[in-house]
Chains A and B, each alone.
Chain A
Amino acid sequence: MTARKSERLLNLLITLLVARTYVAKARIREVIEDYQDANDEAFEKMFERDKEELRSLGIPIEVGHVDRAFEDEPGYRIERSAFELPEIDLEPEEAAVIGLAARVWQHAGLASATSDALVKLKAAGVSVDRAALDMVQPQLTAEEPAFEPFWEATRTRTAVTFGYRRNNEAEVITRHLQPWGVVSYRGRWYVVGHDTDREATRLFRLSRVEGPVTLARRRGTYDVPEGTDLRAVTSTLAPARADRTGVVLVRQGAGFGLRRHSDPVEGDAPEGWDRLAVRYAAAGSLADEILGYGADVVALEPPEVHGEVVARLRALAEVAS
């Protein structure tokens, strides 16, 4: 059955591709054996389904009029320029780059999309020798189950509805979004778009999406505003720059994590201790880090960090007793 249907689909495709102009439905029925054998109703059904199936492969079937004088007779064709992959002439090194790129995605769906693209390029005569280039291979992953529906929605400009749990909140709230784009940052995926409940631009972390993501039935119902810069919208994701400096004492043989963003600094240190200048972005998170080292790190400067560490240690010593 599969073989017979494949033959029919391929013969239909060839008929529409080689025709110089639109082919009338009656003519199509004449040249495809299965269509001749079917009764009128069965033919109509089969023909509709076949067209849909070819379109789902990305084949552009156009509808027009066979004869301008008789506008009631529809015809079909496949425009070669819309069907064929244009010439692509790649140097061996460039082809190797394509080969390496095809291994970047670790996400099943996207990995198969890239390998399908690679097969088409090879069919266009590109030969891929990855060994031609010795270079670092980055990996793109998307662990979040919500990634696939948001990727699809973004690509087809389809509004979505989903449950979202904000950081440090228990409640899952239903949100409505027109996705503009998906962004990966530090191994996590985010979606940016227009939140139609809040009438504002919003950013959502996909790992906090709960339950299914529902795509609206109609696609292409909105436009991404001209000049939208995803990079700018997501700049809030970047951690604050560690442009402040504090001073700490670190016990020798300890505090390795802290030492990674510290430098030795002039000044007194007791025997067995190092005096270090530590770079940090926010006083609160430096205090967190220092507290994690317990008695191996002592906060000296600035006073706000010193004060916070001491206050929190006192609270811990009291509560726990």
Chain B
Amino acid sequence: MSGARDQVGRLLALVPYIQARQEVPVEEAAREFGVKPAQIVKDLNVLWFCGLPGLGMGDLIDVDMDAVQGEGVIRVSNVDYLRRPLRLESSEAAALIVALRALRDSSPTDVRPIVDRTLAKLEVAAGDAASAAAQVEVRTTARDVALGPLRTRLADAVSAGRQVRIDYYVPARDESTARVVDPMRLVTAQGNDYLEAWCHLAEDQRLFRLDRISQADVLDTPVDDHGDVAPRDLAEGIFRPSEHDPYVDLLLEPYARWVAEYYPPESSEELPGGRLRMRLRAGDEAWLVRLLMRLGSEVTVEGPPEISRAVHRAATAALANYM
């Protein structure tokens, strides 16, 4: 019977909401409370059976149902005792205060005093409920702040449906390329912010890590229509190999186990001593060789032999620089 609980919760905000504004269109109330207009009408039908104890003449809350049906406007009266909404619960206060602090940390210095004043007023109004916010800390790094303007510019491009020209660094190939993209959305995964977009250079859908975008210019050109291209489901991680990519079998020493966290394996097997055997699909051999060079003796390539040979070639070539 949570329906009644939710309905009462909504009415306890709706009644003061209307009284603070004299009258409110049903449509607006529905939008603000995230329900259908028909639900608001149902709520009002409950309300006019309520009132002061005894519910005698003059005790009932007065809801102008004619105005609701006719003009689609809500007016209530005879309900002075519900002029204020409920206090904030600790979960509500904490969530909002933490969000305000994050906003403060990422805002320019001239806006900070406004956020500080808002925070102070909100903390006073929330009272004890605000204390839970002290137990949540969002550490904003210099990187987060530095990316703020870029994120905002890209968010604007997403909502305006405009193309963006970006300079993007691809670590796997160690190159920086200029490309025009049709931005789709901003998304956070595995601790990094990404722009998901249709890339005109790759002619495919791509994720671009914001801290690897060195330049971004929003163009006047509207984005192309890509029909049924949908945002990727990132629940399985950012790294999503194609099913046509060849396998590589790796034996990870304990200190290289993070590889299996970042690049979800096709299959894996725990071995004694904390070692892990994993099978990975890797389409980009250059990327794989770079990874294996970094890991050195923390990883053994069990197959295919071409990969071992490629690592050997790369190591021998690099070693020649020191001869």
* Choice from B55, B254, B312, B316 contacting A169 with Cβ under 8 Å: B254
Q: In the bound complex, do residue B121 and residue A88 qualify as a contact, i.e. CB atoms below 8 Å apart?
A: yes
- B2-23 CB contact bits vs A (8 Å, 1 = yes)? 0111011101111011001100
CB contacts (< 8 Å) of B1 on chain A: these are: 1-2, 5
Complex Cα gap A299–B140 (Å): 33
Q: In the bound complex, do residue B8 and residue A13 qualify as a contact, i.e. CB atoms below 8 Å apart?
A: yes
Complex Cα gap A183–B314 (Å): 42
Segment touching B, from A69-77, A118-126, A274-282: A118-126
Interface residue ranges of A286-301 to B (CB < 8 Å): 288-289, 291-296, 298
Q: In the bound complex, do residue B46 and residue A6 qualify as a contact, i.e. CB atoms below 8 Å apart?
A: yes
Q: In the bound complex, do residue B190 and residue A122 qualify as a contact, i.e. CB atoms below 8 Å apart?
A: no
A58-B87, A94-B118, A98-B122 given; A7·B81 CB < 8 A: no
Decide if B57 is an interface residue (CB 8 Å cutoff).
no
When C-beta atoms are compared, the residue in chain A nearest to B275 turns out to be A170
Task: Please classify the interface of chain A as helix (H, G, I), strand (E, B), loop, or mixed, using the class held by over half of its residues.
Answer: helix
Interface residue ranges of B189-203 to A (CB < 8 Å): 189-193
Q: In the bound complex, do residue B117 and residue A257 qualify as a contact, i.e. CB atoms below 8 Å apart?
A: no
Interface residue ranges of A114-143 to B (CB < 8 Å): 114-125, 133, 135-141, 143
- B133-154 CB contact bits vs A (8 Å, 1 = yes)? 0111111110110001101100
Size bracket, chain A contacts: 35 or more
* Choice from A97, A139, A295 contacting B320 with Cβ under 8 Å: A295
When C-beta atoms are compared, the residue in chain A nearest to B14 turns out to be A123
A3-B45, A120-B86, A138-B105 given; A231·B137 CB < 8 A: yes
Decide if B171 is an interface residue (CB 8 Å cutoff).
yes
Complex Cα gap A31–B51 (Å): 11
Q: In the bound complex, do residue A289 and residue B294 qualify as a contact, i.e. CB atoms below 8 Å apart?
A: yes
- B309-323 CB contact bits vs A (8 Å, 1 = yes)? 101101111111110
When C-beta atoms are compared, the residue in chain B nearest to A52 turns out to be B5
In the assembled complex, the CB of A208 is this many whole angstroms from the nearest CB of chain B, namely 9
- A285-321 CB contact bits vs B (8 Å, 1 = yes)? 0001101111110100000000000101111110111
Q: In the bound complex, do residue B54 and residue A187 qualify as a contact, i.e. CB atoms below 8 Å apart?
A: no
Complex Cα gap A39–B118 (Å): 51
- A96-119 CB contact bits vs B (8 Å, 1 = yes)? 011011101110001001111111
Complex Cα gap A106–B193 (Å): 12
Q: In the bound complex, do residue B81 and residue A14 qualify as a contact, i.e. CB atoms below 8 Å apart?
A: yes
Q: In the bound complex, do residue A113 and residue B174 qualify as a contact, i.e. CB atoms below 8 Å apart?
A: no
Interface residue ranges of A243-295 to B (CB < 8 Å): 249, 254-257, 260, 288-289, 291-295
Decide if B67 is an interface residue (CB 8 Å cutoff).
no
CB contacts (< 8 Å) of B174 on chain A: these are: 254-257, 293, 296
Q: Which of B3, B47, B99, B175 has the most CB of A within 10 A?
A: B99
Q: In the bound complex, do residue B254 and residue A168 qualify as a contact, i.e. CB atoms below 8 Å apart?
A: yes
Complex Cα gap A138–B257 (Å): 32
Decide if B297 is an interface residue (CB 8 Å cutoff).
yes
Complex Cα gap A234–B322 (Å): 41
Interface residue ranges of B19-54 to A (CB < 8 Å): 20-21, 32-34, 42, 45-47, 49-54
Complex Cα gap A249–B151 (Å): 34
* Choice from B175, B192, B293 contacting A294 with Cβ under 8 Å: B293
CB contacts (< 8 Å) of A37 on chain B: these are: none
Q: In the bound complex, do residue A88 and residue B122 qualify as a contact, i.e. CB atoms below 8 Å apart?
A: yes
CB contacts (< 8 Å) of B309 on chain A: these are: 320
Besides A88-B121, A116-B89, A135-B107, 11 other CB < 8 A contacts? A14-B51, A57-B5, A59-B86, A97-B103, A101-B100, A136-B148, A136-B149, A186-B139, A187-B190, A294-B314, A317-B319
Chain A interface (Cβ within 8 Å of chain B)?
1-3, 5-7, 9-11, 13-15, 17-18, 31, 33, 53-54, 56-59, 82-91, 93-94, 97-98, 100-102, 104-106, 110, 113-125, 133, 135-141, 143, 151-152, 154-155, 167-170, 180-188, 224, 230-231, 234, 237, 249, 254-257, 260, 288-289, 291-296, 298, 310, 312-317, 319-321
Q: Which 8 A-B pairs have the closest CB atoms?
A: A320-B312, A187-B191, A316-B315, A104-B99, A123-B85, A117-B92, A5-B4, A84-B84
